Structure 1
């Protein structure tokens, strides 16, 4: 069985972060492993607190995995601080894994800062050059580049600008774009558009985590980049369409929609 490793924070409500990544890996037939960077106190309405793990235990988790298990792909999510970013980059430089999907988680839906402002430069200089693919949404794209991105044409130029910063490819997600939901992939040579029907639902908690981990799962299984993005988009589209009304805020997507109904009945 192919394997995938997620390096990210924990979501106590189970809809995003490490929990969403591992659910996605399992749903797509990939053995999931995890390196925890932080523990969040959150639910479907808000992130109320974050406890960051020490660089020592982050490094220890990475070493424990790579010294024993073959890793076919990596997804990197919430990193929180500069020290975590630097130790992750240092340890991954030792093991040289490929591919690496980097989801630059910066702010929660409720507005909680999940990446300290001082850590942005470390993200740009230490991890972006190691990434096979970076998957920012529009707000994260604007934060990384320092200017607004509001149109499809600007998304195309932003994807190119992000690749200029170091990653091999960039997928700028247009879920917050007015009108049709379009994601733009620049693979270093060509631009690709991925359109999807906009689903009218509030149950979108963890969509970014789920999409990036789905791409990592398909790449672990040997799919070329554009094909992995295409299959991951199909997966997340259905997961959103069948999202779960759990909690009083933004409910989670249904990671196991192929296997169970919303009521938990096996299909």
Structure 2
């Protein structure tokens, strides 16, 4: 039974079937591809589209480029920091080696000078290093790394490459104490190298020396070299001690003579302990009361 008023629509109102539509589109695409390959008529369209879409491509690529450049920047920054740290370590190591090399050169020069001094002195000597200053703040004393086991005795002279440094005043088994020449309680018999005038040199405690009990008319001048006289039987005669820096003859009795030590008393590190040529004779016994 058919419905009243129903009519079947014509075919052109229903349109093409999907398969037919797909076939038409495929044919058109193939035709366009063949035509483009033959005549290149779409080249202008492609170029125009590439120009139009270039800003969009650049804008779309910006985040990726930013991330890539940022990662490269931070990676390079880390590498530079690591290289700088390594260069600083190398610089410190090189500086330490250079300082050590300079110190060794200085020590070798001092040792060569000491060796020359030892060869000029025809007595037994013991090479020693100064370890540290004595703890007494009111005395000018140092501690050596040589003691009784190495043949060091109390009273022996101590010199460096330039002159007399001091005298051994206390001896321990492996260390010894040296009173420096500038100590206010230290004295040493000397003579003027130029004319042989004798005197006694005393420390002032302030890094200087003073020649006392010399007559005002004694032939002593500024610039005279003072050497050990050897009259005490302890210091080898002829060791350089000091230079005269000032002579004051204003007093009627004794002249005031200031001197500067030749040895590097406050900076020497290597020294020689000079033995005795002969032990001094014992002091004469005091006269007994009758």
TM-score interval (norm. to shorter): under 0.3
Comparing both chains, which one has the higher relative contact order based on Cα–Cα distances under 8 Å and sequence gaps of 6 or more?
Answer: 1
TM-score of the superposed pair, with normalisation by structure 1: 0.25
The higher radius of gyration belongs to 2
Structure with greater strand share of residues:
2
TM-score of the superposed pair, with normalisation by structure 2: 0.23
